[in-house]
Amino acid sequence: MSTDFFSYAIGIGTQNRKGEWLEVYYPKPVFKPAQTEIEALAGVLGYAGGNTTIELPAALLPKIRPLLTAEQQVVVDSLTNAVRPLVITLIEQDTALASTPEAYLKLHLLSHRHVQPNEINLTGIFAQLPTIAWTNLGAIDPEELAEAQTLARVRGEQLEVSAVDKFPKMTNYVVPSGVRISHSARVRLGAYLGEGTTVMHEGFINFNAGTEGPNMVEGRLSQGVVMHAGSDLGGGASTMGTLSGGGKLILSIGRDCLIGANAGTGIPLGDRCIIEAGLYITAGTRVHVLDENKKTVQTVKARDLAGQSDMLFIRNSLTGAVECRTNSKAIQLNPALHTHN
């Protein structure tokens, strides 16, 4: 086995009638565990290495408990009387995803802040995440939903279906410390939210995207996009992710930036950049670069400005041309809005 083991976690999952995994909840995933811990577990589990998921019968819990850290012993104790299947998922190497429990473990690692977006291999995630009916009674296979709804009605209850999707909302699995989320359904499991992040009602954060914190998110952070400390994504604003036409270019928003309401970017931004409200900058946008006298010194495509700092993007109200000027001041977030104790 590798001396640099990637991750393992003990969890409780949901299966459909075919015995296929729908989802797995891991209370405390372990990132980069000690080699001695993995070797001890291997002896009890018969684990010989690789990336795998092993179902844990209740009788096995007392045997593995003494081999674990104090934190993981608490996890085992909390799961002792579980009525759903218990599992231990072991990921020796950070390779492409090969199972649903493995996919859920990596999403947990992101939302638990063990890793940041774009730092781990999520290749094949859509193939490993089944589409699920997310209900007030948990995950249900859509093929089994009609019967579950009928049985609920017979009991005098109503089965509430909040979504039919591959990804659940993050807060049903992880609630990171020091954040405020106004509408929990708009933050997917696998999002990374740094301390001091505020996500307003129309804000959205996809999996493998996130904030360094503190940040204000009133727009959309697409898959793969990271927003660094002190930046504000305005209402209705968006970032172009690799799943929505952004190609292979990974976007990021630097520190102390402002993307105005209903604006957006398809290029990475350095620090202290502003895009005025209603202006969407794509990689191919023609931009007039102005000097301190507001004279055009060159006309370039926006991709040529990618990653630079202190840029102010505006649209000339007379000509309609997109202009880039030097940003003389950065925004400052209100500290009172981003202290979430």
- Where in the sequence numbering do the catalytic residues fall? 218
Degrees, nearest 5: CA angle 59-60-61: 95
H helix count then E strand count, the chain:
6, 27
Burial of 144 per CB tally in 10 Å (0-12, 13-18, 19+):
middle
- Using CA atoms, how far residue 113 sits from 63, 127, 156, 194, 215, in Å, is 30, 24, 41, 8, 16
- Using CA atoms, how far residue 325 sits from 193, 232, 282, 300, in Å, is 31, 19, 17, 13
Contact 234, 260 (CB under 8 A): yes
> Per-residue b/e over 97-120, b at no fewer than 16 CB within 10 Å?
bbbbbbbbbbbbbbbbbbbebbeb
Separation between Cα atoms, residue 57 and residue 41, nearest integer Å: 15
Pairing state between β 322-326 and 286-290:
parallel
> Which one, of 174, 171, 205, 232, lies nearest residue 27 by Cα?
174
**3-state class of 89 per DSSP?**
strand
> Which one, of 297, 299, 263, lies nearest residue 284 by Cα?
299
